[in-house]
Amino acid sequence: MTRIVYVNGRYVPHHEAAVHIEDRGYQFADGVYEVIAVRRGRLVDENGHLDRLNHSLSELRIGWPLSRRALKFILREVIRRNRLNGDGMVYLQVTRGVAPRSHAFPDHHESALVVTARRLRFLQGDGVDVITIPDIRWKRCDIKSISLLPNVLGKQQAKDSGASEAWMVDSGGQVTEGTLSNAWIVTERGELITRDVSRAILNGITRQAVLRLATGAEIAFSERPFTVNEAKAAREAFITGTTVLVTPVVRIDGEPVGNGRTGKFTAKLLAFYARHMDNQGKET
């Protein structure tokens, strides 16, 4: 079946989709994006993603391309037209639009919108390896910008090393986050640790859900930075994200975390999050 995408007001076949050569997303990475999980044909944590989209757009002074209600309709229509009845993801991207190439903002306010959808098998399994790398990104990581070159380089470095993810480390030796995920550890005392929200990290929607689930289950947690050494000495470690859900980390820089297997806290949180996804899937 031919995939259908939405591009600036039109639903078109995937192989015909195109944007203008002077779209500022293409020339300046002047735009933002969101990736929303689809569970059994329904969007997961949709409002959280749209709230974060609003934050990113506001911080970059990019206008909404249409109303929030209209965008919700388009997201569902793209899912419907692609017959995405199972698990997958929706990708939406908003740029400042088309204008002659100039660094300053154009006078117009005609934002551009692209929405795609595809089937996806969420990463889980027996755990992943991560490596640690210097964090070379800009200082506004709270904005979900389409400018992802440092993340791309880090992800490729992980792949070249035989790992699945790279944890970025700031100048103080503390882990910020992964190239496409938030980073977590479980201390020997059984406390969850993940970095506090600031401009240094993206406040992941899955991250937020896991914190709520931990609160409901009365699992102690702390939002603070942790060092690479703390991570390597932890009882457990895991990553969270829209496409990775809650995935155990079994090795960091080649060294086993705990016993090198999925820990009980990680397994418990994954089970909680799977139920959360199923419950979200019942919403309209």
Angle, to 10 degrees, between the axis of helix 46-60 and the axis of helix 68-81? 120
Distance separating alpha carbons of residues 197 and 223, to the nearest angstrom: 8
Half-sphere exposure of 79 (CA within 13 A, CB side): 24
Q: What are phi and psi of 260, to 5 degrees?
A: 75, 15
DSSP state of 126: T
Is 63 within 8 Å of 109 (Cβ atoms)? yes
List, in order, residues 6 or more apart from 172 with CB less than 8 Å away: 225
- Residues with catalytic function: 144
Letter for the amino acid at 260? G
Nearest CA to 48 among 164, 214, 210? 210
Nearest CA to 34 among 87, 70, 72? 72
How many CB atoms sit inside 10 A of residue 195's CB?
A: 20
Distance separating alpha carbons of residues 205 and 35, to the nearest angstrom: 10
In the chain, DSSP assigns E strands to 4-7, 10-13, 31-39, 42-43, 88-95, 112-119, 128-134, 165-169, 175-178, 182-186, 192-194, 221-223, 236-241, 245-252, 255-256
